[in-house]
Amino acid sequence: MSAPPLIAPVVRSSLPLTARFSVYTLLIAALSIMLPAVVRQQGVAFFYENGALEWCQFGLLGICVLLFAGGALCLPAHRQLAALLGCVTAFAAMREMDRVLGRLLPVVSWKIGGLFLAAAAWLLLRHGRVLLPQIAAFLRTPAFVMLWAGFVIAVPLAQLVGHAPFFRLFMDEVHVRDIKRVFEESGEFMGYLILLFGTLESLLQFATVGGQQRVNNE
């Protein structure tokens, strides 16, 4: 029995999204499986400040910034929105490098990233008439949901679970420092990884909407 005429196109159009999300899921699962082996080789120092994992986190955020910057250059229909998201992500990258920036800029430290927030505020004020409708439409897309999920995992969840007083409720003080670090940094890494996936989905969303707008204008 053949499928109804409207079902087959819907299924075909969903295949790329299904494939991408399957790849995202497999990558997260693979990294989770690899984590114990990495810890056995490098020890808990892998999770410390200025350690390998923190630089991986910074790298993920840096890639997101570069992707949004590329989107701002190559997708003129959503240039301001891509730049806005890139500025917010750049601030997060500066915050992640607080110890390094504290040594390089003793007075200002990671707060230098506030310049990116100022740039984001300027974009909202300067291009609000274009940005606000785009933001409202973007909030209803799967790409935004993925960005939101990455933020929730990396910031409130990772910080809450990696909070020392939380572990002191059920663990000896001698183990708290390392365990909290493991939970916090692992959560941040997974959150930033999902942010990267959300960045890719956002750019695909911008490209799709921009293409549809060009077709409609023609």
The DSSP-derived string for 154-167 is: IIIIHHHHT-HHHH
Read off the DSSP letter of residue 140: T
> Mean of the pLDDT values across residues 80-104?
90
* Residue range 186-217, pLDDT digits in tens: 889 999 999 999 999 999 999 988 666 665 66
26-35 b/e (C-beta count within 10 Å ≥ 16 → b): eeeeeeeeeb
Q: Does residue 85 register a pLDDT over 70?
A: yes
Place of tokens 């506030």: 114
Structure tokens at 68: 């949004």
With 90 as the cut, is the pLDDT of residue 108 above it?
no
**Residue keyed to tokens 């969840």:** 157
Say how far apart CA 87 and CA 91 lie, in whole Å: 6
**Residue predicted with more confidence, 98 or 69:** 69
Residue 116 exposure: Cα atoms within 13 Å on the Cβ side: 19
Please tell me the pTM assigned to this model: 0.86
Q: How far apart are CA 111 and CA 80, in angstroms?
A: 24
Percent of the chain with pLDDT over 70: 83
pLDDT category at 166 given cuts 50, 70, 90 is low
Query: Does 218 have pLDDT greater than 60?
Result: no
- Nearest Cα neighbor of 77 from 20, 34, 126, 134 is 134
Interval 62-74: pLDDT, tens = 999 999 999 999 9
Q: What is the per-residue pLDDT across 23-35, written as a single tens digit (0 to 9) for each? A: 999 999 998 888 8
Q: Is residue 92 over pLDDT 90?
A: yes
**1 pLDDT higher than 50:** no
pLDDT at 213: 65
Chain segment 6-50, per-residue pLDDT in tens: 556 666 767 888 899 999 999 999 988 888 888 888 887 888 878
Q: Tell me: the pLDDT tens digits for 120-161?
A: 999 999 999 999 999 999 999 999 999 999 999 998 888 777
**DSSP label at residue 5:** T
- Specify the pLDDT at position 97: 84
